[in-house]
Each structure stands twice: as structure tokens, then as C-alpha cells.
Amino acid sequence: MNLKPLKFGTVTIDFPVVLAPMAGYTDAAFRSICKENGAGACYTEVTSAEGIRRDSQKTFQFLEVSAQDHPIAAHIFGKSVEAMVEAAQYIEKLNRFDWIDLNCGCPVKKVVRRGAGAALMKEPEQIGEIVRAVKKAVSLPVSVKTRIGFSPSFPDHLTIAKIVEDAGADMIAVHGRLACNFHKGEADWEKLGEIKQALKIPVIGNGGVNTPEDAAEMVRVSGVDGVMIGRGAVGNPWLFDQIKNKPAEPPSIQQRRKVIETHLLRLVELTTATAAGRRCKTKFIPEQAACLHFRPHLAQYIKGLRGRRELLQHLNEMHDVKTVLTAVDNVLEQNQ
């Protein structure tokens, strides 16, 4: 796969295979694991512009970054032009981010009900207004993450993409499925190719990449400038390095064990730090909260291994690091 360094605005992504923004997944702990395994850039979790505007401590936690994160985008969602502008200006003042990314594709119902995320695709002119206003308000590069359409009734992938470009966005990332389909069905990489052909700004393709071969095929079919990986990286952060350094070698049992432990310990550290900044107490102590948050990651880390089913049956009872890692060792020993 022949991908050149991706440049837009003041940003350069040397290896343009990047980690997608995913609510509940792409916190600083997981981002660090993916960066160490070859991801060229990262995005924050989906962050509410209204939350930033209203001084929400929980929202601000999504904007914590480390030196290892760079290049990194602050990924925000909202419907109001004013809220998105204020959030972008706040983010720029933090001096932590390389660029700002505007979500115009999240299909989650609670986001869509607010008229944000994927709902904006039904009002493409609103997308244009948001992009223009944010570009005018900040000096950081601005990109947009969207989909090929909201539903069969609103498939205007080229219309939306052109509006994004004409409004001044520096880059666009497009998921090759309709929002109404969430993550079901095949991603339409040919439509990504149509978008790439129609635009002058860089295009990153997203959707359906779970193997190095998938990444190469997306680029071959669509000609996109970069590849974005979301769910395919959960439990498999080695995918980035496998794409970069063929032939791809699967992780050894020892590598898998090391990454699981490192990820969990970093999540405990992150949860401890964020708990210290909260105004109100939470139900769980940080270690317990981290272990519970780690469950979907762990389920994917041990996917396909003997003993996985038994571990998952007791996953909700594992509230400390020692218990989790002991259970992991029991699974891994069955697969030596």
C-alpha cells in the first residue's frame, strides 16, 4: 500500500493510517497503545460543544492529552454554530491540539435527536455554516468527519463533501456507510472514490478496515489519501503496525499479555487522575471504574481464544487489576 505523508494546513501525518474517534473507547489510555503500535494520528472521543460551553467537568476530561498523542485532533459535535465556534476557540486556547475536527456523522440516537452528528447531513447548508464560522474563528486547521449519507433518502455524499470543501475545511474523513446503517453491511469504498475525485482537499476513508488487506483494498478502490480505523483496532492495536510493516505477523501470546496489562494500568492511572478533578463522588473507586470500562476492550483482546467464554461470564465481577489479569493469564495459558 503506497500512502504518502498527509499534509493539510499546518498538520503533517507521516503515516496516514489513523485511529478514529469512538465514544467510550478512544481515551488517552487507548490512544497511547495505538500510537505505540503505529497509528499515525489520533482523535479525541466525541466531545460535546455544549458541554465545553457550559463548563462541564466531564466534558473537559475528554480534552486531556499527552505528549505521545500528537498529531491529535479535538473532535467536537453540536448543532449550534455559536456553540461550535465557542468550543473551537476554547480548544485553540488550550494549546494542546494540532487541529479541530467537526463531527457531522455520528449516528448515535442521543446525538442525532439533538440535531447534531449525522442529523446535520439532512441540513447540509448548516454544515457549511458551521465550517465557515469555525474556520473564521480559529487559526488551527479544521476538518470534518461525516458519512456517505444519512439514509437512502439523503444520500448526497458528493453534495455534502463539496459543501465541506467550499466552506473552507482543510480535510475530510468519510465513513463509507449510511448513518442509518450504523456499522452494518459493507462499506461503500467506491463512493469514497467518487468523493476523492470530486475534491481538492485530502480525503481519509473510514469503514470496513479490519485487516492489512482491507486497508490496501480501500486505497486501491478509492484512491483516498489516508485510512481511518475504528472498531477494527479495538482489541487489535497491532493492526496499524501490520499495515505499515508487511508481512503482517500476529501478536504473540506474550505481546498480547503485555499490551492488555499496559492498557489496563494506564486506564487506572487515567481514571484516578480524572476522578481527582471531579466535583462530585462516583459510585466506584478509580480502579473499579477502570476495570469496568476495560470490559469491551478485553472482550476483543481475547477474541478467538480458548477460554474466552468462561472469562466473559465472570467479567462483571472483576473489579480490580489483579483479578482481571489472573483471569487473562488463565485464558492465555490455554492457548500457549
Same-domain check for residues 227 and 284: no
Same-domain check for residues 202 and 268: no
C-beta neighbour count of 93 within 10 angstroms: 9
Q: Which domain holds residue 288?
A: 253-333
Domain end position, chosen among 191, 221, 244: 244
- Number of domain units in the chain: 2
Same-domain check for residues 272 and 227: no
Same-domain check for residues 259 and 238: no
Tell me the one-letter amino acid at 188: D
298-332 residue pLDDT tens = 999 999 999 999 999 999 899 999 999 999 999 99
Q: Which residues of the chain have pLDDT under 50?
A: none
Q: Are 81 and 125 in contact (CB under 8 A)?
A: no
- Domain assignment present for residue 216? The answer is yes
- In this prediction, residue 280 carries a pLDDT of 55
Same-domain check for residues 207 and 277: no
Same-domain check for residues 145 and 279: no
Same-domain check for residues 238 and 286: no
pTM, full prediction: 0.94
Same-domain check for residues 69 and 135: yes
- In this prediction, residue 55 carries a pLDDT of 77
Same-domain check for residues 279 and 210: no
CATH of residue 143: 3.20.20.70
150-186 residue pLDDT tens = 888 775 789 999 999 999 999 999 999 998 888 898 9
Q: Which of 34, 42, 104, 106 is catalytic?
A: 106
- In this prediction, residue 282 carries a pLDDT of 64
| 42 is known as an active-site residue | no
Same-domain check for residues 231 and 268: no
Same-domain check for residues 12 and 120: yes
- Domain assignment present for residue 1? The answer is no
CATH of residue 315: 1.10.1200.80
3-state secondary structure the chain: CCCCCEEECCEEECCCEEECCCCCCCCHHHHHHHHHCCCCCEECCCEEHHHHHCCCHHHHHCCCCCHHHCCEEEEEECCCHHHHHHHHHHHHHHCCCCEEEEEECCCCHHHHCCCCHHHHHHCHHHHHHHHHHHHHHCCCCEEEEEECCCCCCCCCHHHHHHHHHHCCCCEEEEECCCHHHCCCCCCCHHHHHHHHHHCCCCEEEECCCCCHHHHHHHHHHHCCCEEEECHHHCCCCCHHHHHHCCCCCCCCHHHHHHHHHHHHHHHHHHHHHHHHCCCCCCCCCHHHHHHHHCHHHHHHHCCCCCCHHHHHHCHHHCCCHHHHHHHHHHHHHCCC
Domain end position, chosen among 214, 244, 274: 244
- In this prediction, residue 67 carries a pLDDT of 85
